Amino acid sequence: MDEFPAGKKAVGSCIVFKKKLNEYSNCIKFKVYIVAKGFLQVISKDFSKTFSSITKFTILQVFLTLAAYLDFEIYQVDIVAAYLQDNLNKEIYSFKQVG
């Protein structure tokens, strides 16, 4: 698509190639990612919310102490993968990839 609707702009992207290695440094898998160039976005026009998965150590320490006191089980969750797999509910326009 060469032309976009009025008032819409395309988000640039690039292709990233990565080799997955085992413990002996042998290649076991090739992965390809299409990464959006998010640095071109404008706050409140292109997006409205941002999320950060950073916490202070003291908050984590209090949480773990309370969980140990109440004998709760604690599970680890990969937060990065949790929100990257979310469904999109907006139209996004991108340039055609070369190659």
pLDDT in tens, 18-64: 999 999 999 999 988 877 776 666 666 666 666 666 778 888 899 89
Among candidates 32, 31, 42, which has minimal Cα distance to 7?
A: 42
| Residue 98 identity (one-letter amino acid) | V
Query: What is the number of H-type helices and E-type strands within the chain?
Result: 2, 2
Helix, coil or strand: residue 61? helix
pLDDT digits 0-9 by tens, 51-64: 666 778 888 899 89
Beta strands in the chain (DSSP E): 13-21, 27-36
